[in-house]
Chains A and B, each alone.
Chain A
Amino acid sequence: EIVLTQSPGTLSLSPGERATLSCRASQSVSSSYLAWYQQKPGQAPRLLIYGASSRATGIPDRFSGSGSGTDFTLTISRLEPEDFAVYYCQQYGSSPFGGGTKVEIK
């Protein structure tokens, strides 16, 4: 089973700053099957990125995904107040979700 490790566990940043979240797989995975989700307290997760780099419908372009093989990155170019949340990566089909990265206000 592929294990996804997200880092850091918590990212403390200020609005307007750039956020870089990492998702590392225990073995090479297909970029086509790598997705990112955002979850705010008390809400269901929301799809942000699929296929490693494609934005889901309605997702602002400040969110971008990149990577291949075992290393993937979610970048939020300039944090807005509504972006402070927990982010999960997922390798569709063969593994559970990553453990999540919490982006909190510094």
Chain B
Amino acid sequence: EVQLVESGGGLVQPGGSLRLSCAASGFTFSSYSMNWVRQAPGKGLEWVSYISSSSSTIYYADSVKGRFTISRDNAKNSLYLQMNSLRDEDTAVYYCASEIVGACFDYWGQGTLVTVSS
């Protein structure tokens, strides 16, 4: 059974940093691309970042480019999102999502809440 479990969320002040993690199990993590998607309170889904299986290809949404860094450790079956220079508008539930089937986000974690507030 595919499982994705996010952690690392919490309350942080504007300008601060946070590192999210996503632990994957139940599939060959090293073979598949991964993504981070976020959802602000009461709002829709916003794709944040993509990383290919070998980390050779990485993309970011314009809203986080230059502030967030996606990475993965295939030996640890883990995905990460380093978030720097956080803003109020980064407040959201952050989900990791896999691309096992391809061309879609087929499995999602339960999400971790990031709150940016002074």
Q: A45-B108, A46-B108 are in contact. Are A56 and B101 (CB under 8 A)?
A: yes
Residues of B contacting A44 in the complex (Cβ-Cβ under 8 angstroms) = 95, 108-111
User: What residue of chain A has the Cβ atom nearest to residue B96's Cβ?
Assistant: A44
Q: How far is the CA of A83 from the CA of B98 in the complex (A)?
A: 23
Whether B104 pairs with A35 at a CB distance below 8 angstroms is: yes
Give the complex CA separation of A10 and B118 in angstroms.
Answer: 35
In the complex, which of the residues B46, B105, B108 contacts A35, with contact meaning CB atoms closer than 8 Å?
Answer: B105
Which one of A46, A47, A56, A88 lies within 8 Å of B44 (CB-CB)?
A88
Contact B46 A32 (CB under 8 A): no
> CB < 8 Å: which of A46, A56, A92 contacts B103?
A92
Would A35 and B103 count as touching, CB distance under 8 A?
yes
Nearest chain B CB to A23 CB, angstrom units: 13
Contact in complex: A50, B103 (CB < 8 Å)? yes
Collect the chain B residues with CB atoms within 8 Å of residue A99's CB: 44
* Closest chain A CB from B27 CB (angstroms): 12
Q: Tell whether, in the assembled complex, residue B104 and residue A47 are in contact, meaning their CB atoms are under 8 Å apart.
A: yes
B95: which A residues are within 8 A, CB to CB?
Answer: 44-45
Contacts of B46 in A (CB 8 A): 96-97
B positions within 8 Å CB-CB of A: 37, 44-47, 61, 95, 101, 103-111
Q: List 19 A-B contacts (CB under 8 A).
A: A37-B45, A39-B45, A44-B110, A45-B37, A45-B95, A45-B105, A45-B108, A47-B101, A47-B105, A50-B101, A50-B103, A51-B104, A56-B104, A92-B103, A92-B105, A93-B103, A96-B47, A96-B61, A97-B46
| A residues apposed to B, CB below 8 Å | 32-33, 35, 37, 39, 44-47, 50-51, 56, 88, 90, 92-93, 96-100
